[in-house]
Amino acid sequence: MPVRLTRLLAAALISAGISSVVLAAATQSLTWRGDVVTGNGVVKGMVKAWQATGHGTIELQPFNTASGLDAVASGAADIAGSARPSSGSATDSGLTFTPVAWDGLVLVTSPSNPVSSLTLKQVHDIYYGKITNWNQVGGNDAPMDVFAVASPGDGVEFSLRKLLFGRGSQPVAAPRLYVNTTQLEASVELDPRAFGVTTLSSVAGNPKIKMLRIEGVAPSTATVANGSYPLFTQLYLVTNPSSPNAAAAKAFVDFTQSPKGVAVLRSHDLLPYSDGSTLIAMDDSRRSRILADVGAHASAEPTQVAAAAAPARPVVTPASAATASRTVVAATPNLKNVSGNATVAQETTSLKGVRGDAFSMAATHGTDFAKVTAEAFVSYGKVIAKAPAKAARKSAIVADKKADMKKLAKVTKAAPARTYRVAAGETLYSIARKHGVDVAEIRSWNHLKDNTVRTGQVLRIEAR
């Protein structure tokens, strides 16, 4: 074979090899896991745009910030979504937090609630347990039902508590805890006395939830952008530099700041990070002003959870197959007599391994939060090009839910049944707790589609 032909053939083979490597990198499949706020606001639409430009697929696993960071640190996921920066913990220390967008932390209640605006001091005192009735802030004479996400490692909760208390791990007086903001929002829609925090991108345009003004300023993309709405925050994508897929993960993160990526962010009521130079410049002074207004000051995050005895890991039985696999120490229900900078028992900083739908649980000091029985986690292998708006707002459904229900049916098939009439103010959880059964069991026995029950409804309750 002529020398020239040999060289040309070798060059062609090398070129083909390089093209194959480039193509493989472009079509590499990645896994994203993290908080539902970043998932819905940033990642879902971004993945569609990413794949439309010829890149590989990204599997979405929306749950919460803590689980996402755990997954990326352990190598179970390539990218995490986080509504908070690094806390300096051991898990966070080896990860790269890249801010990609600005969002607003919004305090929410029911549209039927006459209260429309709160001061920063009032918000602080609600979470601190000093304000417990809506009439203390100009509303009806009714107790406040304060909701929160269970883990202070949750991005939304951490960021708000950092602004109001000077540290993101500060316990708050929130008697009802949820695994993520999706479940919290669903409860706010049903409760006229509800109060909780989520984000602007998550509830903007939702007529079933009222966003409260802060210091008279309504949360909006415009007021976040100019800094007049004080509770603005950053959303992050988090990667692990030591991951085998680190280069592909970084390419996706970089894509969020491309023209196509920026368009996706704006369509979800988010401000692209690169457009927030004003917010970066005023961030330190804003934080100092908020702490001065509420009478608090910044303090270091604890390096480990305080020594409130954690409940033992629960045993998952067939009748509670969907229950969580890790315990959480709930927040102190009333902090009226606790100094703002006192060291008190903390909630656990991770919900790694939890599978459940984060149904609410009354929180008393040291309460076992392990048995949250509902749907909060799902893996999306493909991104649906167009889904109905109603379906998009629904909480994620556990992939093996039907299998779990079949197991429950087999276990309880022969059990003697009795009936129970729902009293005013009762929830499916309180009824389950009263009868010593699981929410999932009651739903199975009565063919309920969700956790909603009405006063006077007759439920079938089977003995264990």
* Model pLDDT for residues 403-427, shown as the tens digit of each residue: 434 443 443 344 457 889 988 767 7
Helix (H) or strand (E) holding 93: helix 90-93
pLDDT digits (tens, 9 = 90+) for 261-303: 999 999 999 999 999 999 999 999 999 999 999 999 888 877 5
**Euclidean distance between CA atoms 409 and 239, whole angstroms:** 42
Statement: residue 386 has pLDDT above 90: no
Does the pLDDT value for residue 48 go beyond 70?
Answer: yes
| Angle (nearest 5°) at CA 238 between 249 and 198 | 130
d(CA 451, CA 428): 6
Model confidence at 209: pLDDT above 90: yes
d(CA 245, CA 242): 8
Annotated domain spans of the chain: 3-101+235-273, 400-462
For the stretch 248-275, what's the b/e string if a residue is b when 16 or more beta carbons lie within 10 angstroms of its beta carbon? Answer: bbbbbbebbbeeebbebbeebbbbbbee
Where does the pLDDT of residue 185 fall: very low under 50, low under 70, confident under 90, or very high at 90 and above? very high
pTM: 0.65
- Residue 296 near residue 89, CB atoms below 8 Å: no
Contact by Cβ (8 Å): 188, 206: no
- CATH code: domain 3-101+235-273 is 3.40.190.10
What pLDDT shows up at residue 365? 29
User: E strand or H helix at 188, and its extent?
Assistant: helix 181-190
- Looking at the predicted structure, is the pLDDT value of residue 351 above 60? no
Number of residues that make up the chain: 464
pLDDT of residue 374: 30
Strand partners, 420: 459
pLDDT band at 107 (very low <50, low <70, confident <90, very high): very high
Percent of the chain past pLDDT 70, that is, above it, reads: 68
The single-letter DSSP state of residue 143 is B
Q: Across the strands, what pairs with 417?
A: 462
- Report pLDDT for 318: 26
CATH superfamily of 400-462: LysM domain (3.10.350.10)
Residue 312: is its pLDDT beyond 70?
no
Q: What is the rounded average pLDDT of the residues 349-370?
A: 31
Q: What are phi and psi of 118, to 5 degrees?
A: -135, 155
Q: Taking the C-alpha atoms of 38, 41, 44 and 47 in order, what is their torsion angle to the nearest 10 degrees?
A: -90
Percent of the chain with pLDDT over 90: 46
Which residues touch 246 (CB under 8 Å, ≥6 apart)? 239, 240
Per-residue confidence band for 151, with pLDDT thresholds at 50, 70 and 90: low
Model pLDDT, residue 416: 56
**Residues 379, 366: Cα–Cα separation, whole Å:** 32
Question: Over 50: is that where the pLDDT of 380 sits?
Answer: no
Could you tell me the two tokens for 284?
Answer: 């330190």
Rounded Cα–Cα distance for residues 233 and 4 (Å): 62
pLDDT at 308: 27
What per-residue confidence (pLDDT) applies to 217? 97
Least confident of 123-127, 178-182, 380-384: 380-384
Provide mean pLDDT across the span 347-364: 32
DSSP for 248-287 reads HHHHHHHHTTSHHHHHHHHHTT-EEGGG-HHHHHHHHHHH
CA distances from 143 to 140, 177, 188 (A): 9, 17, 14
What was the pLDDT predicted at 146?
Answer: 95
What's residue 4's pLDDT? Answer: 53
Instruction: Tell how far CA 151 is from the center of its chain.
Output: 9
Mean pLDDT, residues 346-367 taken together? 31
pLDDT digits (tens, 9 = 90+) for 58-87: 999 888 888 899 999 999 999 999 999 988
Residue 440's pLDDT is what? 76
Supply the DSSP symbol for 225. H
